[in-house]
Amino acid sequence: MVRFLHTADWQIGMTRRWLPAEAQARYAAARVEAVRRIGEVAAEQDCEFVVVCGDVFETNQLSRQTVRRTLEALADVPVPVYLLPGNHDPLDAATIYRSDTFLKYCPAHVVVLDGAGPVTVREGVELVAAPWGSKHPDADLVGQALATVGPADGTVRIVVGHGAVDLLDPDRHNRAGIALAPVEEALAAGRIHYVALGDRHSRTDVGGSGAVWYSGTPEVTDPREQAPGDVLVVTVGDGSPPRVDPHQVGTWSFRSLEREITCAADVEALDRELSALPSRDRTVVRVSLRGALGLADHARLEEMLAGHGEVLAALHTWERHHHVAVIADDEDLGDLGWGGFVAAAAEEIRGLGGAAGAGAAAVADVDPEAARDTTDEIADGDDLAGWHHETEREWDGQSAQDALALLYRLSTQGAR
C-alpha cells in the first residue's frame, strides 16, 4: 500500500490581465501559499510523497524572487516532492530547473523528474515519469514512458504525465496527445497502478478504470473550470482500484453570472446575490446581463455594480453577452426637469437610441468612451448641430443609450 498526494498546474508566476494590480499581487501570492496548504494536507493524510504533474511554473522566465519564494514554500512541505516539467516549464535550453537560483536553493527533499521512465521512491514503489523536453513534443510522452516498464512484478507503479488524453482532446492531429487505450491495457495487466496527470485544470476522472485522473489546478485560473482548487489523495497497492479523495486547498473563486434584468426588483435581487458571495476579496465575477431598464433603474444598476467592484477582487462584464437597453419615455424625461441644451440633447439621444414611441431600443455593441466624450461635450454646451451630424454618421443605438444613461447619472449626481 502507498498513499500519496497528486497535484498539478501550480503555474507559479501566472498573471491575469483583468485583475487590478493589488488583486493581481494577492492572486500571485495565493498560488505560492497553496504550496504550503498542499504540504499540510499531505501531513494530515499521512501521504508518503507529493507528485506535481507538470507546469509547476507559468514559464521558464520568472524573476529570481518568484523562484525563491516558491522554493521557500516547498521547503515547508514535510514529505518528498517530485516535480514534473510540463509544457509551460519544459526541460529546454532555458529551463528554470537548471537555473542557478533553482539549483542553489532547491530543498533536498524536492526532486525534479528530468528523465523518462521509472524512478524508485522506496522499495516496491516507483514513479514512471514522462517529462516535457520542449513546448512542442512530437510524440506521446506517456506512451514512451510506458515502454520502459516491464511486466507486473509486485511493484506499485504510478505514471506521472502531462498533456491531453485523446479521449478528451478535440485535436485528433495532436501528436503529443496521450493515447488512453495503451494506458488502460497496462493498468489491466497490473504493470502500472495509477496514472497521475496534469494539463487539464478541472478535476477529471478519465475513462472507466478509476485509475486515470487529472487533479486540476490548486487555484482557479478561469471561470470555465469545473471543480478547480483541489488536490487528490490517492491510495493504491492492494489489488483493488485506487481510492481517490479530493481535498480543497484553493481560496479563490471565479464566477460567471448570467441574468435577465427587466425591472427594479431584478436589480435588487442581483445586488443581494453579489452581497452574499463568500470571500469577496478573493472572488472574481463576470456578469452578462440582458434586458431593458428605465433611466432610474439603469442608473441604480450601474451604481450597484460599481459598488461591488470596489469590494470584489474584480467585477467585469462579458461584453459579447451583456446587453441592457435603456428605455426613456416622456414621463422619465419630464420628471427630470431638464431644459435648454440638455433637454434638446436628451431628445436627440433618445431618438438615436430608438427609444421614442414604444421605448424599446435596438441593442448593439457598447461604446462607452464615445458615449462619455459626447455627453461631456453636451454638458459643456458645445455645438449641438455639429454633434448631431457626427452621431448620425458614427453612432449606433447602444452608444446613444449609454450617453442618455450617463447624462441621467451626471444630472442626478449634480442634484445630490
Q: What is the pLDDT of residue 336?
A: 53
At 76-114, the pLDDT tens digits run 999 999 999 999 999 999 999 999 999 999 999 999 999
Task: Show Cβ contacts of residue 1 under 8 Å, excluding neighbours closer than 6 positions.
Answer: 235, 236, 237, 238
* Total residue count of the chain as it appears in this document: 416
Q: Is the pLDDT of residue 338 over 60?
A: no
| Partner residues linked to 125 by β-bridges | 122, 156
* d(C-alpha 280, C-alpha 275), whole Å: 8
Helix axes 340-352, 384-394, angle to 10 degrees: 10
Cα 412 to the center of its chain, rounded Å? 38
Label the pairing between strands 230-236 and 243-248: antiparallel
What pLDDT, on the 0 to 100 scale, is given for residue 372? 40
The pLDDT value given to residue 374: 38
What was the pLDDT predicted at 100? Answer: 97
pLDDT at residue 115 in the model: 96
Q: Where do the domains of the chain lie?
A: 2-248, 253-415
> At residue 118, does pLDDT exceed 70?
yes
Average pLDDT, the chain: 85
Q: How far is CA 184 from CA 162, 181, 202, in A?
A: 16, 5, 21
Q: Residue 407 above 70 pLDDT? A: no
Which residue(s) pair with 327 in the sheet?
294
Asked if residues 225 and 202 have their Cβ atoms less than 8 Å apart, the reply is yes
More confident residue, 407 or 280: 280
Q: What was the pLDDT predicted at 356?
A: 35
Q: Looking at residues 387-396, what average pLDDT do you find? A: 42
Q: C-alpha angle with apex 214: 145 to 42, nearest 5 degrees?
A: 95
First vs last Cα of the chain: how many Å apart? 71
The total of other beta-carbon atoms located within 10 Å of residue 56's CB is 28
178: cell is 496521450
Over residues 332-350, mean pLDDT? 55
CA gap 344, 387 in Å, rounded: 12
User: Model confidence over 352-380: pLDDT tens digits?
Assistant: 555 433 333 333 333 444 434 433 433 33
Pair 83, 112: CB distance under 8 Å = yes
- What CATH class is the domain 2-248? alpha beta
Cα–Cα separations (whole angstroms), residue 245 to 178, 208, 230, 248, 316: 24, 17, 10, 10, 34
Instruction: Give the mean pLDDT of 319-346.
Output: 63
Confidence at residue 249, expressed as pLDDT on a 0 to 100 scale: 97
Q: Give yes or no for residue 329 having a pLDDT over 70.
A: no
Distance, CA of 412 to CA of 406 (rounded, Å):
10
pLDDT score for 396: 54
Q: Would you say residue 54 has pLDDT above 60?
A: yes
Instruction: Show the cell assigned to 153.
Output: 512484478
Which set of grid coordinates corresponds to residue 95?
A: 529551463
Q: What is the pLDDT, as a whole number, of residue 361?
A: 38
- Which of 187, 101, 113, 202 minimizes the C-alpha distance to 152? 187
Per-residue model confidence (pLDDT) at position 171: 78
pLDDT band at 325 (very low <50, low <70, confident <90, very high): confident
* 337 or 229, higher pLDDT: 229
Tell me, what's the pLDDT at 343?
Answer: 56
Whether the per-residue pLDDT at 251 is higher than 90: the answer is: yes
- Could you tell me the pTM of the whole model? 0.81
Backbone φ and ψ of 233, nearest 5°: -100, 120
Q: Rounded to 5 degrees, what angle do the CA atoms 171, 174, 178 make?
A: 100
**More confident of the two residues 61 and 343:** 61
Half-sphere exposure of 56 (CA within 13 A, CB side): 31
As a whole number of angstroms, the distance between CA 275 and CA 279 comes to 10
Residue 410: per-residue pLDDT: 53
- Do residues 295 and 328 make contact, with C-beta atoms less than 8 angstroms apart? yes
**Statement: residue 279 has pLDDT above 60:** yes
Closest CA to 291 of 315, 267, 255: 267
- Note the pLDDT of residue 406: 57
| Nearest CA among 319, 397, 406 for reference residue 362 | 397
Q: What pLDDT sits at residue 347?
A: 57
The pairing of beta strand 283-294 with beta strand 253-261: parallel
Per-residue pLDDT, 379: 38
Residue 173 — very low, low, confident or very high, per pLDDT cuts 50/70/90?
A: confident
Q: Is the pLDDT of residue 287 over 70?
A: yes
Is pLDDT of 408 > 70?
Answer: no
